Amino acid sequence: MADNKRNRPIGIFDSGVGGLTVMAEVIRHLPNENIVYFGDVGRCPYGGRSKETIIQFARQDIKFLLEHNVKYIIAACNSVSAVALETVKNEFDIEILGVISPGAKAAINYSKNGRVGIIGTVATIGSNSYAKEIQRLNNDIKVFSLACPLFVPLAEEGYMDKEATKLIAHDYLKTLIDVDIDTLVLGCTHYPLLKNVIAEVMGDKVKLVDSAEETALELTQVLDNNGLRKEETEEVIHKLYVSDVPDNFSDLVHKFLGSRINNITRVDITRY
Ligand code: DGL
């Protein structure tokens, strides 16, 4: 039978469970699509690693997804999108959408005063990718970037409403409050989980941009423009592959995806 491209799964990869926030948005906007997710849980976090290492890991993640005959790939990890995407995009014969460009476009649309903040991992902020993309699209926008590395473990530990998280958020974000931004991009897969705390600290005049949601919206558009939406008649399958399964894993998946998933398989990513 001829392989009908539109019915192939969407491939999503991330350094770990964080990209499940992107998968959750993809499921919300494209509930009929099959998804194969790879989370490099065993080698997470990527955000403090060198560019060379992140590129090498991203190559392996993509090779793994290609084995699953995916029709489109999302690099859900901001750190990968920021430092590796430009390089790996040219090495594979498949469209790969990162999370930087959708987040950057949304920030430009939302900002009224032309002052935008970006928060992310050390790798993402160090690459300056969001700032470059925003200024490539609109050179009048002033961008203020800030690494908030403690937000990743806080989200994974479920410290959403704790006083400690508020204190850390205040400490990190005060420099952004001082520069009068009206838009703040959550440039890391984990930060949507801390949205309430970040919103409280930044105040209601600052619009938060969720790169995960913006990416799902862009994917929807791309699939529609290319006639690549899956046929409704087919059943929907979501598969989760990971390079390690820690003890608390199903709780972690629930936290980031917002639902449980039984279809979890461990893979040796170093083979790719
Ligand atoms: N997924 C990463 C990101 O969005 C956060 C976790 C990590 O550092 O690997 O940048």
Domain boundaries, the chain: 2-98+214-271, 100-211
Q: Is 77 a catalytic residue?
A: yes
pLDDT of residue 2: 54
DSSP code string of the chain: ----GGGSPEEEEESSSTTHHHHHHHHHH-TT--EEEEE-GGG---TTS-HHHHHHHHHHHHHHHHTTT-SEEEE--HHHHHHTHHHHHTTSSS-EEESHHHHHHHHHHH-SSSEEEEEE-HHHHHHTHHHHHHHHH-TT-EEEEEE-TTHHHHHHTT-SS-HHHHHHHHHHHHHHHHTT-SEEEEESTTGGGGHHHHHHHH-TTSEEEEHHHHHHHHHHHHHHHTT-PPPTTSPP-EEEEES---TTHHHHHHHHHSS----EEE--GGG-
Determine the residue of 79, 145, 243 to mutate for testing ligand 1's pocket, defined as the one with the most ligand atoms within 8 A of the Cβ atom: 79
Q: Whose CA is nearest to atom 1 of ligand 1?
A: 77
How many angstroms is it from 38 CA to the middle of ligand 1? 14
| pLDDT beneath 70, residues of the chain | 1-2
111 lines ligand 1 (CB under 6 A): no
| Residue 234 confidence (pLDDT) | 72
Of the residues 76, 77, 148, 257, which is catalytic? 77
Specify the fold of 100-211: Rossmann fold (3.40.50)
User: In the CATH hierarchy, which fold is given to the domain comprising 2-98+214-271?
Assistant: Rossmann fold (3.40.50)
With a 6 A CB cut-off, is 127 part of the ligand 1 pocket? no
- Provide the whole-model pTM: 0.95
